[in-house]
Amino acid sequence: MTDPRLAALAQSQPELRLLTDPADLEHYGRDWTRRWTPAPLAIALPANAEQVQAIVRWARAEGVALVPSGGRTGLSGGAVAANGELVVSLERMNRAIGFDPVDRTLTVQAGMPLEAVHNAAREHGLSYPVDFAARGSCTIGGNIATNAGGIRVIRYGNTREWVAGLKLVDGRGELLDLGRALVKNSSGYDLRHLAVASEGTLGIIVEATLRLTDPPPGSSVMLLALPDFESLMRVFETLRARLRLEAFEFFTDRALQHVLAHGAQAPFDETYPYYVVAEFASGEAGEDAALSAFEHCVGEGWVLDGVISQSQAQAAQLWRLREGITESLAPYVPYKNDVAVRISAMPAFLAETQALLAHEYPHFEVVWFGHIGDGNLHINVLKPDDMDQSGFVDECERVTKLLAGALQRHGGSISAEHGIGLVKKPYLGSTRDEAEIALMRGIRRVLDPDGLMNPGKLFDP
Ligand code: FAD
Ligand code: 2HG
Ligand code: ZN
């Protein structure tokens, strides 16, 4: 360790793993946004909460900023380290610690990948229902720090709903045990929820106790082709009323074409403007209800074509058309927007923003998809070949400003589930008023008095 600050840390914590190899700095210094050039001081890989506390105390003594780091699948730049920070990766803290069959809770270290949590819950005959395509790489700590949503929010809610308790090493180095996994606890402020969606700005989550639930019912998946967005809303209302929906997701033909170019199989001979992937509880009654709902939607002209999975393999194939979108767009380094409005405001918001983007930015390819049943749209803007990256980002910032204005008019949010991070920091004011942001700053000052926990993310000091 040539840096004397790192040498001091290594000496005081001989068991702590520290990385300074340029390839490691590059690897751990960025997330999926790929927009910033990684430049961390070093990477720390603690093995337990005590080491995390020691790192925070050292950071305070040396004045070094810390970036909490999970799977770095984040899409808003929250885990980016571009300014000489120490990245604190929870990669080694990836184990389940305990299961309680009576409480139906699973306690895990915060670096445990989401998919490993799914598997552990299944081994106990239960289910952890938060789910999305990054499941193999993202971690529970990152999920909590962003209040991750995903494809089953419509039935099970966001990550917040499933956090029974958590342990946080705050910016003072204190280990806080928040929530205690009680079902009932009316003894004052619920500080556990401060950590949810905090994006690493209050401290480092080291452990979580997660609620588990009954395994999901057997399900089938239908893929529907639709003529327009109005029909999509009618189909949503119909399916929600007649079926037990486990998911209801949409994407446009542009999104589908990217996934097909990435190797997926075309579902229909023709192309259509919009598609829906709906998963519903099957069994004979479910299948019959699905068929009759499908026929009703076709009769109304809301659905133009459709297919219902006949096997798990086919269901997975249909899901791939929706879940493969982000990966298929990744080579373009798209500019991402992740917005939310009330479900009832969705048609007006979409019509307004689609018209606005087509009028102001006809040269941009815009890919729309998302969790329509939750009022959450993902709007990915792709860079035209003849535009340089920085000019593209500048123009996209103007697009986002327009979106932020529309969101303000419709009472929506500039981030539904990915977080504010670096990407959406200039637009926080479109979603939260000044008094709220001042309060958030005040809370941050209490838990992180030196401003060393992920500085520059969410809002500036
Ligand atoms: P990171 O990217 O490592 O970090 C995210 C933020 O959390 C950063 O601010 C970081 O500092 C902070 N953080 C990480 N760990 C900790 C910790 N232990 N303590 C305190 N702070 C911490 N998101 C959704 O919500 N829904 C989706 O459907 C969805 N689909 C995705 C699909 C793909 C293919 C990809 C690549 C991403 C997707 N995401 C989705 C975004 C991303 O996966 C989530 O935001 C996820 O929760 C991030 O987890 P992570 O462990 O990778 O966190
Ligand atoms: C999804 O819903 C993710 O697939 C990623 O939240 C969204 O890539 C995106 O913009
Ligand atoms: Zn999403």
Strand ordering across the sheet containing 365-371 = 305-308, 219-226, 274-281, 245-252, 365-371, 376-382, 335-340
Tell me what pLDDT residue 1 has. Answer: 78
Tell me what pLDDT residue 74 has. Answer: 98
- CA 339 to CA 430: how far, in whole Å? 11
Tell me what pLDDT residue 283 has. Answer: 84
Q: Tell me, letter by letter, the H, E, C secondary structure of 317-331.
A: HHHHHHHCHHHHHHH
In this model, does residue 130 exceed pLDDT 90?
yes
- Tell me the chain's radius of gyration from C-alpha atoms: 23
Q: Would you list the domain boundaries of the chain?
A: 4-92, 96-211, 219-326, 333-443
Averaged over 179-201, what is the pLDDT? 95
Triad 152, 309, 162: Cα angle to 5°: 15
**Which atom of ligand 2 is least distant from the CA of 151?**
2
Q: What is the pLDDT of residues 263-284, one digit of tens each?
A: 999 999 999 999 999 999 998 8
CATH 3.30.70.2190, domain 219-326, yes or no = yes
In this model, does residue 389 exceed pLDDT 90?
no
Q: pTM to 2 decimals?
A: 0.98
Tell me what pLDDT residue 286 has. Answer: 87
Tell me what pLDDT residue 180 has. Answer: 87
As a dihedral over the C-alpha atoms of residue 175, residue 178, residue 181, residue 186, rounded to 10 degrees, the angle is: 150
- Domain 4-92 belongs to what topology? 3.30.43
From ligand 3's centre to the CA of 142, what distance in Å? 15
| Beta strand residue intervals within 90-218, DSSP E | 96-100, 105-109, 163-170, 175-178, 203-211
Tell me what pLDDT residue 360 has. Answer: 86
146 CB under 6 A from ligand 1? yes
Tokens 């949010």 appear where? 413
Query: Among 59, 52, 146, which residue's Cα sits nearest to residue 449?
Result: 59
378 CB under 6 A from ligand 2? yes
Q: Which helix (H) or strand (E) holds 338?
A: strand 335-340
Residue 285's pLDDT band, with cuts at 50, 70 and 90, is confident
- Mean pLDDT score across all residues of the chain: 96
Q: What is the pLDDT of residues 441-457, one digit of tens each?
A: 999 999 999 999 999 99
How far from the centroid of its chain's Cα atoms is residue 171's Cα? 24
Q: Could you tell me if 440 and 430 are in contact, meaning their C-beta atoms sit under 8 angstroms apart? A: no
Residue 136's pLDDT band, with cuts at 50, 70 and 90, is very high
How much of the chain, in percent, has pLDDT values that exceed 90? 93
- CA 255 to CA 113: how far, in whole Å? 27
From ligand 1's centre to the CA of 223, what distance in Å? 28
132 CB under 6 A from ligand 1? yes
From ligand 2's centre to the CA of 251, what distance in Å? 11
Second CATH level (architecture) for the domain 96-211: 2-Layer Sandwich (3.30)
Averaged over 370-392, what is the pLDDT? 93
Question: Would 219-326 and 333-443 be classified into the same CATH topology?
Answer: yes
147 torsion bin: left (phi>0), alpha (psi -120 to 50), beta (else): left
305-308 and 376-382 strand pairing: unpaired
430: helix, strand or coil? helix
How much of the chain, in percent, has pLDDT values that exceed 70? 100
In this model, does residue 83 exceed pLDDT 90?
yes
CATH 3.40.50.12780, domain 333-443, yes or no = no
